[in-house]
A and B are shown apart, each in its own frame.
Chain A
Amino acid sequence: MNNTYAIKAENLTRQFGSFTAVDQISFQVKKGEIFGFLGANGAGKTTAIRMLCGLLKPSGGHAEVAGFDIFRQQEKIKQHIGYMSQKFSLYEDLTLYENIRFYGGVYGLRMSEIRERAEDLLKKLGLTQQRNLLVKSLPLGWKQKLAFSVASIHNPEIVFLDEPTSGVDPVTRRQFWNLIYEAAHGGTTIFITTHYMEEAEYCNRISLMVAGKIKALDTPTGLKTQYAAESMDDVFLKLTQQ
């Protein structure tokens, strides 16, 4: 448990019939790191994240999440991770507080803990006044911020975010990243997939996926130097044109 990596993947592979969605990818994510998983739509990002969360069985390879084997110790992994999917993951017909209470209950938190964390969380998001409103009345950006906070209500070691900012305006995206930084500062490892290249700059390290394979893995600055590019967009274009 006391190693420095939150996630280790070795030759992780997933096939759907004859199509290889994820092709022998290997990487490590350090504890407390913000690790970006970039690639075009259909590059295999979501398949990879779903395997790490235990939603999908890998066809081959090895991986450890929070020190547990993804093949044998799925149940243990679940206690230590949070997950936010592409689709909005809160219940629209429940109020903000009911959503928080439900997910708190799902993770087995005590009622007193739930109440305390709900207060903190709502205050941090500036939504204390809205606690008894139905979630569907919130604007999308706020919903996403709330969803992230709810996904980490049980203080997980790792939070997996699958394209959390798609369809959100740039200002809200910036605020969303502030929340991510704050969580990472508190020691939470962040594993995030995105197809917005400018978001890559916010990550500590990024891996670029093309057609199921990891084509490059480094810090944003490292990648830009390596490919003699001015922005991550250029890096990505150069990689895909190879």
Chain B
Amino acid sequence: MKQFIAFVKKEFYHIFRDKRTLLILFGMPVVQVILFGFAITNEINEAHIVFLDKSHDVATDKIKDKILSSGYFRLNEKTPRSSADLQEIFREGKVKVAVVFGQNFYKNMLTHQSANIEILADASDPNMATTLTAYVTAIIRQYQAEEQTITGGLIGTEVKMLYNEQLKGVFLFVPGVITVILMLVSAMMTSITITREKELGTMEILMVSPLKPGLIILGKSTPYIALAMINAVTILLLAWTVFEMPIRGSLLLLLAECLLFVITSLSIGILISTITNSQQTALLISLMALMLPTILLSGFIFPINSMPLVLRYVSNIIPARWFIEIVRSIMLKGVGLEVIWTETLVLAGMALLFIVVSIKKFNIRLG
């Protein structure tokens, strides 16, 4: 125990005397949350729209009003007179959507003939285009439903967004940012700090000393567990105060799951450090083999359901995928362990596997 305390103390000296690492450790989470929260967002505000209205009747006016008052759109100063005008306007690039009403719109609607609306969107940014057309369609459908209730018409649809009524992008990003940061601090930092001792030659001295290999690893990783947890709390606090993100489930459970994920990531970091002897390689492996899949395949940015089948299978072996699911469930849905026990079990199993493999590998290196 005395050996262990001496070791951890030494490790903290290393961390606190390295100003650059310290800056990365504590600056990065704040910057990332702010960046993801404010700058990188899927939400649409005031997209430029034009109307080509061949009817100019009660119905088209009402639909136009509805669209413009939704807050998502803003009427562009240009008014197209023909389809050719539309081409020209889109080419200029400022206008993102155009709505074209057919002739005799209101009359056709009343007589139950097909009343035509055409929605055109600038799909050079496909995501944006999809979202915008979805918004316009929704507004038109809403109008349709209202009309039908007045005239005693058909079925009205109502859409309700559960758990995140305002569809805030930051709710999606915070679990992802926590995941990336915890992964980075735990896996990358541990693999670097262990390979650093190998590079400096101090690892040999430690191995010649009576310290057990397990104790060396534990002593090296304990400070990073503490730091990662501080980061997790920082991010949660930021998310809560700045972006008003709720934590609907148990905070204690959330922190316990964070700890589990930190341990899983740490054990990957230790595994990396047993494969290589250089800090550079450790850094590269951490970035390429961990960060990229964590960001791309975990469901942080791209939904797992829309991936090709192969990638969906691959995403299963990425710890972050399970952790993001856990964080979203606890924070947004407020569920407890009875719902997320599978994910928890998978993470725990991964941690165990990595720890066993890295201890085995570490011992082989000794031999």
Interface residues of A (CB under 8 A from B): 53-57, 75, 78-79, 81, 83-94, 98, 101-108, 151, 160
Contacts and interface: CB of A to CB of B under 8 A. Distances in A.
Contacts of A87: 200-201, 204
B205 A93 contact: no
B208 A102 contact: no
B2 interface: yes
A105 B13 contact: no
B13 A106 contact: no
Q: Which of A81, A87, A90, A151 has the most CB of B within 10 A?
A: A87
A93 B367 contact: no
Tell me what chain B mostly uses at the interface: helix, strand, loop, or mixed: helix
Given A87-B200, A91-B14, A101 B6 contact: yes
A75 B208 contact: no
A91 B210 contact: no
Contact of A98 (B10, B210, B366): B10
A89 B205 CA distance: 7
B143 interface: no
A89 B209 CA distance: 13
A56 B7 CA distance: 24
Contacts of B201: 85-89
A105 B208 CA distance: 14
Contact of B3 (A90, A98, A108): A108
A103 B209 CA distance: 9
A75 B208 CA distance: 9
Nearest to A94: B13
Contacts of A90: 202
A54 B367 CA distance: 8
Given A85-B204, A108-B3, A93 B209 contact: no
A94 B206 CA distance: 16
B204 A93 contact: no
Given A86-B201, A98-B13, A105 B210 contact: no
Nearest to A101: B6
A57 B208 CA distance: 13
A54 B6 contact: no
A68 B209 CA distance: 15
B211 interface: yes
A55 B209 contact: no
Contacts of B110: none
Contacts of A151: 205
B10 A89 contact: no
A93 B6 contact: no
Given A98-B10, A101-B6, A75 B210 contact: yes
B208 A53 contact: yes
Nearest to B366: A55
Nearest to B199: A87
Given A57-B367, A87-B201, A88-B201, A106 B208 contact: no
A87 B277 CA distance: 14
A107 B3 CA distance: 7
